[in-house]
Amino acid sequence: MSLLVFSLMLVIFGLTTGEFVIAGILPDVARDLSVSVPAAGLLVSAYALGMIVGGPVITTLTARLPRRPLIVGLIATSIAGNAASALAPSYPVLLAGRFVAGLVVATFFAVAVATAVSTAPPGRQASTVARLTFGMNLGMIAGTPLGTFIGQHLGWRATFATIAVFSATALTMVLRSVPDRPAPQVGSLLGELRVFARRDVVLAIALTAAGNLGVVTVFTFMAPLATDVSGFPGAALPLLLLLYGGGAVVGNFLGGWLADRALMPSLAGLLAGLAGVLALGLPLSGHQLSAAVLWFVLGVLAFAIIPGMQTRVVATARGAPTLAVAVNASGFQLAAAFAGWLGGRLIDGPGPGSLYPVAAALTLTGLLIALSSLWHDRRRPRSPGTGGPPAPEAAPDRGAPAPAE
Give the tens place of pLDDT for each residue, 76-109.
Answer: 999 999 999 999 999 999 999 999 998 888 888 8
Q: Given a cut of 80, is residue 383 above it in pLDDT?
A: no
What's the confidence (pLDDT) of residue 263?
A: 87
Burial class (CB in 10 A: 0-12, 13-18, 19+), 41: buried
Q: Which of 44-53, 119-128, 272-281 has the highest mean pLDDT?
A: 272-281
Query: What CATH architecture applies to the domain 3-179+189-394?
Result: Up-down Bundle (1.20)
What percent of the chain has a predicted confidence (pLDDT) above 90?
29
Q: What would the pLDDT profile of 320-367 be if each residue is shown by its tens digit?
A: 666 777 777 777 777 777 887 888 889 888 888 899 999 999 999 999
To the nearest 10°, report the CA torsion of 164, 165, 168, 173. Answer: -130
Burial class (CB in 10 A: 0-12, 13-18, 19+), 112: buried
What's the sign of the alpha-carbon dihedral 106, 212, 47, 293? negative
pLDDT: which is higher, 198 or 267: 267
What is residue 167's three-state secondary structure? helix
What percent of the chain has a predicted confidence (pLDDT) above 70?
82
What residues does each domain of the chain span?
3-179+189-394
pLDDT: which is higher, 226 or 112: 226
Q: What would the pLDDT profile of 162-192 be if each residue is shown by its tens digit?
A: 999 999 999 988 888 776 766 655 555 565 6
